[in-house]
Chains A and B, each alone.
Chain A
Amino acid sequence: MTAQASVRNATTAAPLRPQRGGGPALPKGRGSGVADLVGVIPIGLLYVVFILVPMVVAVFLSFTSWNGVGNPTWVGFANWSWFFHNSPGSAISSTSSIWLTIKVVVLSYVVQTPISIGLGLFTAGRQRYKVVYATIFVLPMLLSTAGISYMWNGFLDPNFGPLVPLASHFSFLNQDWLGSSSITLYVLVAIIAWQFIPFHTLLYAVGRRQIPEVLYEAARIDGATPAQMFWQVTLPQLRYTMVTSGILMITGGLTYFDIIYILTKGGPGAATSTLPLNMYNTAFQQTQFGYSSVMAVVLGVIGIAIAIGLVRGTGFGRMQSQQEGVN
């Protein structure tokens, strides 16, 4: 295509909808081939060496037995059958890890979503006092996970924590929060929620601000009550935000490691040993790189499955084109 033709195309193309793969072709500039190499090779190399190759290595290691010394020994599907029938050599059963992981994911989603939506809608307003609230709600994001863990560790200390003086009035506060096999998992879910609700609140606040006010005016004219507006305007309009936030919560919960590692290391016993914790302990405490790689691969496969489900089920492509239209 000549340069002039492409300019003509550029001026006649509808500016709002540059389709993926559509739009005018650009003229070949001098050295565009070299520019492609310069633009893609360094970043591609980093990505291939430190993301793709490790993924392949993880799959390979999952078929071997290796303690980090010497060379890995090929053992075929032994690790995999252990994984599904509970390894005799592993202290923590993989079925209980999977079960705990599912629990963390589901509970995190159920706890975080309604609170984030509520707070997000509240802080979406532009009033001054709401900005103050929004600012305070963001504060947990400024702490590192380790910081959050040690803060709660002190706060929930069963001997010297600030809840101890209160426990003489409210006996239910008298708990070994982080050392009990019955409640610690729920305490961890609550702390994880404390850490992540601020982020999802921000997402929902941004999502709410993008809803055109016209929709609410129309609903008001039709005599809709606030509840009706919430169920029939706000929630349907927030569906993409709910998908994004939900995916992040699910993948986040699935791979959640930091707080659990710092506060309980998976204990007491195996009470909080989720899949990532089990994987880490198997690899770096028991140095069974082969068996731990099975868990790593399972995590990776679930991550990829969720991503594919996201693309298929919710039409990520549609979402992109919708955004292009709006922007």
Chain B
Amino acid sequence: MPAWLRPGRVISFVLVNIWLLIVIIPLYYMILSSFRSEDTYQTDNQWLPLGGLTFGSYTKAWEVGMAHYLLNSVLLTVACVVLSVVLSLGMAYRVVRRNSRWVGVSFSVILFGLAIPVQAIVVPLYIMIVKMHLYDTLYALILTLTAAAIPVSVLIMVSFVRDIPRELISAMLIDGGTEWTVFRQLIWPLSRPVMATLAIYNGLNVWNNFLLPLVLTLNNSTVLPLGLTHLQGSFSNDVPAVLAAVVLSALPLVVLFVMMRRQVMNSLGGIVAR
């Protein structure tokens, strides 16, 4: 019996392709239906691209405010990624440097945050943000989402920076380097790969976060995921327009993914496996 006909092979081939269908069919349905119009959606063939296809739903979704949501999402994600990556790298260097004892204690306290789910603190966050007069601003989201990303970011950065040979740090300090030159000329350049990894991981989490925008914003600072629910509300039965909005909201990530597929997949899988 040839190797590819072994029962194990055949079964795994069948199962993998069943999963392939489970992944593709709803996506296919969504893309096909997003090119329908509100009137023809209910009568046209649901499975085949027969009959009228139109961009109408896309223009409709765009005009209702997608651009505004998109801008907010981009600003929020960039701010959170830059803050979380840079701050956690700086902290990681101090932890590995082991200059004062309280730094190590702070590290443990921050690791404790890994155990606290955002759901558990969302009510106090809401109250605090309202009291700080930050409700419905991007600042509210930037501060809280960055804070939520801190524990995992610091953990990952420390486990990376710890592997930078201490001899290098030591040599630079002996040669008269300051803490800043060590950070700027050694830690920072060597950490580029892990910074990229963490940026992708945190970026995706922030981009897709739903709960904090739901609780902390109203209209001004709506980001894409929450914007979809607003659209759903205003379109009510216009399923194609909602689906077109979903496709539009995913486009930035799809473009990013197409450009750097390997990097994205490695960072998502590798970040926790590290």
Q: A residues within 8 Å of B by Cβ?
A: 3, 6-7, 10-11, 15, 18, 23-36, 38-40, 42-44, 46-47, 49-55, 57-58, 61, 68, 115, 118-119, 122, 133-147, 150-152, 154-155, 157, 160-162, 164-165, 194, 199, 202-203, 205-207, 210, 226-227, 241, 244-245, 248, 251, 254-255, 257-258, 261-262, 276, 279-280, 283-284, 289, 292-293, 296-297, 299-300, 303-304, 306-308, 320, 323-324, 327
The 6 closest A-B CB pairs, nearest first, are A202-B269, A50-B147, A307-B115, A300-B120, A54-B124, A54-B121
**A/B interface sample: 6 pairs, CB < 8 A:** A43-B90, A46-B143, A144-B250, A147-B225, A154-B242, A300-B116
B91 touches A58 (CB 8 A): no
- Report Cα–Cα, A31/B183, bound state, in Å: 13
B167 touches A10 (CB 8 A): yes
- Report Cα–Cα, A297/B121, bound state, in Å: 8
B96 to chain A, nearest CB (A): 9
Chain A residue at minimum C-beta to C-beta distance from B120 = A300
- Report Cα–Cα, A3/B167, bound state, in Å: 11
A199-B159 in contact given A43-B150, A118-B15, A296-B121 (Cβ < 8 Å): no
A146-B225 in contact given A61-B124, A202-B269 (Cβ < 8 Å): yes
B263 to chain A, nearest CB (A): 12
- Report Cα–Cα, A303/B97, bound state, in Å: 31
**Candidates B41, B124, B174, B253; contact of A3 at CB < 8 Å:** B174
A154 touches B225 (CB 8 A): no
A120 to chain B, nearest CB (A): 9
Q: Return chain A residues, CB-CB under 8 Å to B124.
A: 53-55, 57-58, 61, 293
Q: A145-B208, A151-B243 are in contact. List 18 more A-B contacts (CB 8 A).
A: A24-B166, A43-B88, A44-B91, A47-B151, A49-B147, A51-B150, A55-B116, A139-B27, A144-B225, A146-B210, A154-B242, A194-B23, A202-B269, A226-B6, A257-B210, A262-B210, A300-B116, A324-B162
- Report Cα–Cα, A160/B229, bound state, in Å: 20
Q: Is B196 at the interface (CB under 8 A from chain A)?
A: no
**Candidates B120, B177, B272; contact of A203 at CB < 8 Å:** B272
Chain B residue at minimum C-beta to C-beta distance from A4 = B174
Q: B residues within 8 Å of A by Cβ?
A: 6, 8, 12, 15-16, 19-20, 22-24, 26-27, 29-30, 33, 41-42, 46-47, 87-88, 90-91, 93-94, 97-100, 102-103, 106, 109-110, 113-128, 143-144, 146-148, 150-151, 154, 159, 162-163, 165-167, 169-171, 173-174, 177-180, 182-183, 204, 207-208, 210-211, 214-215, 224-226, 228-229, 232, 239, 242-243, 246, 249-250, 253-254, 257, 261, 264-266, 268-270, 272-274
Q: Return chain B residues, CB-CB under 8 Å to A138.
A: 257, 264-265, 268
- Report Cα–Cα, A248/B117, bound state, in Å: 11
Among B87, B163, B274, max chain A CB count under 10 A is at B87
A29 to chain B, nearest CB (A): 5
**Candidates A147, A304, A308; contact of B246 at CB < 8 Å:** A147
B119 touches A144 (CB 8 A): no
B159 touches A119 (CB 8 A): no
- Report Cα–Cα, A207/B182, bound state, in Å: 34
A262 to chain B, nearest CB (A): 6
B225 touches A244 (CB 8 A): no
**Candidates B8, B16, B119, B229; contact of A299 at CB < 8 Å:** B119
A299 touches B117 (CB 8 A): yes
Q: Return chain A residues, CB-CB under 8 Å to B90.
A: 38-39, 43
- Report Cα–Cα, A136/B23, bound state, in Å: 8
A280 to chain B, nearest CB (A): 8
Q: Return chain B residues, CB-CB under 8 Å to A162.
A: 29, 33, 46-47
A39 touches B242 (CB 8 A): no
Q: Return chain B residues, CB-CB under 8 Å to A147.
A: 225, 228, 246, 249-250
A304-B116 in contact given A3-B174, A293-B123 (Cβ < 8 Å): yes
A51 touches B268 (CB 8 A): no
- Report Cα–Cα, A48/B274, bound state, in Å: 27
B268 touches A202 (CB 8 A): yes
Q: Return chain A residues, CB-CB under 8 Å to B226.
A: 146
Chain A residue at minimum C-beta to C-beta distance from B214 = A261
- Report Cα–Cα, A255/B170, bound state, in Å: 44
B249 touches A144 (CB 8 A): yes
A151 touches B246 (CB 8 A): yes
Q: Return chain A residues, CB-CB under 8 Å to B98.
A: 25-26
- Report Cα–Cα, A306/B114, bound state, in Å: 11
B215 touches A26 (CB 8 A): no
**Candidates A46, A244, A292; contact of B147 at CB < 8 Å:** A46
Chain A residue at minimum C-beta to C-beta distance from B12 = A122
Chain B residue at minimum C-beta to C-beta distance from A56 = B124
B229 touches A28 (CB 8 A): no
- Report Cα–Cα, A146/B113, bound state, in Å: 26
B114 to chain A, nearest CB (A): 6
Q: Return chain A residues, CB-CB under 8 Å to B274.
A: 323
A151 touches B179 (CB 8 A): no
Q: Return chain A residues, CB-CB under 8 Å to B257.
A: 138, 142
Q: Return chain A residues, CB-CB under 8 Å to B143.
A: 46, 49-50
B125 touches A40 (CB 8 A): no
A210 touches B273 (CB 8 A): yes
- Report Cα–Cα, A216/B111, bound state, in Å: 37
A257 touches B272 (CB 8 A): no
Chain B residue at minimum C-beta to C-beta distance from A147 = B246
B243 touches A154 (CB 8 A): yes
A121 to chain B, nearest CB (A): 8
